[in-house]
Homo-oligomer: A and B are copies of this chain.
Amino acid sequence: MKVSQETGSEANIGFGRALMPSYLEMCPQKAAFSSFRTQPETHCSRLSIGNIMEFTQADRQHLDKSKQDTGSLGNTDDALKYDSGRVAHDFSCIHSKDLLPAEEGEEATKHFLQELVNILLDYISKSLKRGSKVIDFHYPHQFKEGLEGFSLELPDQPDNLEQLLVDCRDTLKYGVKTGNPRFFNQLSTGLDIIGLAGEWLTSTANTNMVTYEISPVFILMEEVVLRKMHSIIGWQEEDGDGIFCPGGTMSNLYSVLLARFHLFPAVKTHGMSAIPRLALFTSAHSHYSIKKSAAVLGIGSENVIVVRCDERAHSVTWNPHKMMGVPLQCSAILVKRKGLLQECNQLCAEYLFQPDKHYDVTYDIGDKAIQCGRHVDIFKLWLMWKAKGSEGFEAQVNHCLENAEYLYYKLKRRADFQLVFKGKPEHSNVCFWYLPKRVQNIPPGPERDRELHMVAPKIKTKMMEEGFTMIGYQPLKNKVNFFRCVFSNPATQREDVDFLLVEIARLGCEL
């Protein structure tokens, strides 16, 4: 919403002015009104003067009621985040140029970031709360028309910090609560608090994995974690290399790139025309990123041939941002053969990889990568591993698999649901159709399939509009649209699985 200048009651303004004449003279119009735009009748003004204004119990009750009424995500809670006796701040007179590194910018910086953190803490509590909405869905045109004052356009003039905080709240309000226990839409779900702490620190450190001199600690952490991952896979100490990538697709792309280089090293310098024409064999169930990698690497997507295959491999893509619940992004390509990454990718750029540095330059791992600069993705994983131990991750994954099994058995017992695959889930995906009564009564055949194909999209539409849960659907070869439930959120319990089925049936029974 836009910060505007609705008037508070005259009595409040008078009260405010009586107490703080000098401050109000500084910002006469805004001082009394900031942050309570949704409650013009509030008794409180937010002024950064010290302990003058205290919230009374009546104030708290009033604000609580307003919060429930507006159903907002807590933009009235900001002042409540402060200790009693401590007063919230007026950001409407402050702009980013007043923050560090500006002289005297420290106070404003701390207050601004603290205010933001309060918003985030409030969001975290709410979004992990069972029963809270997963999404407050709106169509693109609604946002473009300016939704309840939330404008995505970039203005010519800088906004004040109050407006930015409002924008932050709105951004979270209209986004998807991926930590919600009833968000089943993707294989990356959940909101790990330690991982989040790791991310907050990572962004504050704001550095780059390209050389040891600028990321000594993070580079060593990556080495430690990769070694741990190797040992879990079962590779020997003397084997094993790897690197963290911006996602699973990039990791898969590395795997194809490395395999090609390993077999035909001349391709690096002389290209595909210097080597025989290639075909790429992959499992029938491989992720589409293998095909995409073939297209990118110049192999060609139609030269990808699917085969049945066993699990042995010289490289492994491991995505901690999936089942391990690490915040996005976090993916690694693990390579059995040491040195292959370096040989395949290095170009020895002089401005980064000088050989005459004073430390062991094998720690300048940037030349192993396709990338030059590389985001620090390792710290959150390292911190989570320290926080949970391997046993913690094991328990977490088992919990997801148990949820999948629980869902499977629930579905088996219901006539209005039908599993896509008869066998027990092999992992944490469970695929199923919902059949409204009307569709159940059509005999199996093309007509029933046509009707069934339209059920999931219709239910999904309603589901998004109501917003209490989310699950994806898709067709697969000759199978018409079915729901695909994936479990990766440690917060999800059986009651959430129960809720999902009740909700799907509620939304779909009349179709």
Contact = CB atoms under 8 A, between A and B. Distances in A.
Given A224-B153, A291-B347, A359-B139, A474 B296 contact: no
A272 interface: yes
A64 interface: no
Contacts of A321: 373
A431 to B, nearest CB: 10
Interface in A239-262: 246-250, 253, 257
Nearest to A302: B269
Contacts of A474: 350-352, 354
B373 A249 contact: yes
A484 B351 CA distance: 9
A311 to B, nearest CB: 22
A39 interface: no
Contact of A175 (B205, B268, B303): B205
Nearest to A164: B387
Interface in A357-388: 357-360, 363, 370-376, 379, 382-388
A150 B373 CA distance: 27
A124 B100 contact: yes
Contacts of A390: 154, 156
Contact of A96 (B99, B277, B392): B392
Nearest to A491: B101
Nearest to A362: B140
Interface stretch (A25-33, A54-62, A190-198): A190-198
Contacts of A288: 347, 349, 372
Contacts of A95: 387
Contact of A203 (B246, B300, B327): B327
Interface size class of A (residues with CB under 8 A): 35 or more
A220 B490 CA distance: 30
A284 to B, nearest CB: 14
A298 B216 CA distance: 33
A301 interface: yes
A461 to B, nearest CB: 4
A125 B111 CA distance: 13
**Nearest 7 pairs of A and B residues by beta carbon:** A298-B298, A271-B300, A101-B491, A199-B203, A272-B272, A246-B246, A358-B461
Given A114-B121, A123-B204, A176-B214, 12 more contacts: A96-B387, A96-B388, A100-B191, A109-B193, A140-B220, A164-B383, A175-B205, A185-B213, A196-B204, A268-B300, A271-B294, A328-B376
